[in-house]
């Protein structure tokens, strides 16, 4: 039994799940992998290829089919993000953020909003971004200051002022799911508004020059007396922090899946390289020190996969401990998989440090997964809160 078949058996993937995974694997190998290094080098956002995934149903993986979504579960989403990330973690993670933002509209929008906003998003005719972080508030998201005041246009519009920091897809996305303050300080004063790219008063900062994720833009999103129709408010005023956190439960699994796919690619490359590269008269995979490193990498990779699939299953079943499992899986998998990619680079020696071998990109891309969707320190805060209370 090969490694893939063994994995499927272990988790009892059904025929549909196997077909979805095969479709994602094929798309990743055909449309993403051959270009990933070039996109990274040229800092090119391949929005044509990203939009193509809409035809595969990846624009609304766990969104209702009445609005064009695929109506799949978290387990299927994890399989898709893992497969895409094996070709390019940054490509996969952009699609994961799009899905997180779309799900927030699906879950917390009313029927009119769902029918009006979601079909172009699930079709990937419109790309969506998630806007929570601000220059002065990251981990402490409930301290956000971007203000939304209702009143303009006889109450038909909100006026937004403030800025969001580090927004993935900013400037390229068509729709921004924005958490803004409509009331008191703290989490209860936050609301969620869907802001279209052409909203008057919306602009974007310059491209951030960052360590990895080069193929997707990261910029500030700036609101200067930005007018947003009140009909784009999700779930009423004050629900925004709950919506933002609910989005992140699934987002954390998705980003962990992106780490898993990247680490699998890194280990596969390391095994092939070690079987080929010679030193001291033999291939380097004959050295026990290196074999032990490979053995640890495989063990940590499989532990990550088992943990992640278990967490996805809990979120699918909506178990009461699903948030804790999402946080634990995000912490464990993104840490372990970064180390696997870094070890795989080491196995390549000096060649691992060269761009053309694809290893240094994997390390750079996976590093940020330990920081975003809540840092791994904040994951520990969440897990501990479940264990010992506040």
Ligand X SMILES: Cc1cc2nc3c(=O)[nH]c(=O)nc-3n(C[C@H](O)[C@H](O)[C@H](O)COP(=O)(O)OP(=O)(O)OC[C@H]3O[C@@H](n4cnc5c(N)ncnc54)[C@H](O)[C@@H]3O)c2cc1C
User: Which residues are near ligand X by CB under 6 A?
Assistant: 97, 129-133, 138-139, 166-168, 210, 213, 218, 368, 371-372, 374-375, 377-378, 381
- Find the residue with minimal CB distance to ligand X: 138
Kind of pairing between the strands at 175-181 and 128-131? parallel
Which one, 129 or 192, has the nearer CB to ligand X?
129
Q: How does DSSP assign 75-121, residue by residue?
A: HHHHHHHHHHHHH-HHHHHHHHHHHHHHHHHHHHS-HHHHHHHHHHH
DSSP label at residue 215: T
Longest dimension (CA), the chain: 81
User: Is 82 marked active-site?
Assistant: no
| 321 within 8 A of 386, measured Cβ to Cβ | yes
The rounded distance, in Å, linking the Cα atoms of 345 and 295 is 15
Facing residues of 167 across strands? 219
In whole angstroms, the minimum distance from the beta carbon of 14 to ligand X comes to 33
In whole angstroms, the minimum distance from the beta carbon of 222 to ligand X comes to 14
In whole angstroms, the minimum distance from the beta carbon of 339 to ligand X comes to 18
Neighbour tally for 138: CB within 10 Å: 18
Q: By C-alpha distance, which of 150, 149, 126, 144 is closest to 198? A: 126
In whole angstroms, the minimum distance from the beta carbon of 190 to ligand X comes to 13
- The set of residues, in sequence order, having a beta carbon less than 8 Å from that of 248 and lying 6+ positions away, is 100, 326, 373, 374
Residue tagged active-site, from 76, 231, 373, 377: 373
**Alpha helix (H) ranges present in the chain?**
3-10, 15-27, 36-42, 47-52, 74-87, 89-108, 111-122, 240-276, 288-316, 322-347, 359-367, 376-388
How much of the chain is helix, strand and coil, in % rounded to 5? 60, 15, 25
Which one, 175 or 270, has the nearer CB to ligand X?
175
In whole angstroms, the minimum distance from the beta carbon of 238 to ligand X comes to 19
Q: By C-alpha distance, which of 297, 309, 308, 315 is closest to 330? A: 308
In whole angstroms, the minimum distance from the beta carbon of 252 to ligand X comes to 11
Which one, 90 or 315, has the nearer CB to ligand X?
90
Q: By C-alpha distance, which of 132, 129, 158, 156 is closest to 145? A: 132
Which one, 138 or 352, has the nearer CB to ligand X?
138
Which one, 182 or 218, has the nearer CB to ligand X?
218
Which one, 303 or 381, has the nearer CB to ligand X?
381
In whole angstroms, the minimum distance from the beta carbon of 197 to ligand X comes to 15
Kind of pairing between the strands at 218-229 and 157-168? antiparallel
Which one, 152 or 246, has the nearer CB to ligand X?
246
Burial class (CB in 10 A: 0-12, 13-18, 19+), 35: middle
- Which sequence positions are flagged as catalytic? 373
């Amino acid at each position: 039994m090969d490694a893939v078949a063994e994995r499927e058996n272990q988790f009892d993937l059904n025929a549909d799940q196997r077909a979805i995974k095969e479709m994602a694997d094929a798309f990743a190998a055909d449309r993403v992998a051959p270009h990933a290094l070039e996109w990274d080098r040229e800092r090119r956002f391949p929005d044509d290829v990203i939009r193509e995934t809409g035809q595969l149903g990846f624009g609304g993986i766990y969104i209702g089919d009445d609005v064009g979504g695929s109506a799949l579960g978290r387990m299927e989403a994890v399989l898709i993000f893992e497969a895409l990330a094996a070709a390019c973690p940054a490509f996969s993670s952009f699609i994961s953020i799009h899905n997180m933002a779309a799900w927030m509209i699906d879950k917390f929008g009313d029927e009119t909003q769902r029918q009006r906003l979601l079909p172009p998003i699930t079709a990937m005719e419109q790309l969506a971004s998630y806007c929570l972080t601000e220059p002065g508030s990251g981990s402490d998201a409930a301290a956000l200051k971007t203000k939304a005041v209702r009143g303009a246009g006889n109450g038909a519009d909100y006026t937004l002022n403030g800025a969001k920091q580090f927004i993935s897809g900013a400037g390229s996305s068509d729709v921004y799911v924005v958490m803004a303050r409509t009331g008191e300080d703290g989490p209860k004063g936050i609301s969620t508004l869907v802001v279209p790219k052409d909203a008057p008063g919306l602009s974007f900062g310059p491209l951030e020059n960052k360590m990895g994720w080069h193929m997707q833009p990261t910029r500030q999103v700036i609101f200067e007396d930005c007018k947003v129709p009140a009909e784009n408010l999700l779930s009423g005023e004050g629900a925004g922090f709950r919506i933002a956190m609910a989005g992140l439960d699934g987002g954390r699994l998705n980003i962990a899946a992106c780490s898993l796919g990247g680490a699998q690619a890194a280990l596969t490359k390391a095994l092939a390289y070690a079987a080929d590269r010679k030193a001291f008269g033999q291939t380097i995979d004959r050295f026990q020190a290196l074999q032990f490193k490979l053995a640890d990498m495989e063990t940590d990779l499989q532990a990550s996969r088992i943990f992640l699939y278990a967490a996805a299953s809990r979120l699918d079943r909506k178990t009461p401990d699903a948030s804790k499992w999402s946080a634990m899986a995000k912490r464990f998998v993104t840490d372990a998989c970064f180390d696997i990619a870094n070890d795989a680079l080491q196995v390549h020696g000096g060649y691992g440090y060269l761009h053309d071998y694809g290893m240094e990109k994997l390390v750079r891309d996976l590093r940020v997964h330990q920081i975003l969707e809540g840092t791994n320190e904040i994951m520990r805060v969440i897990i501990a809160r479940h264990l010992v209370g506040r």
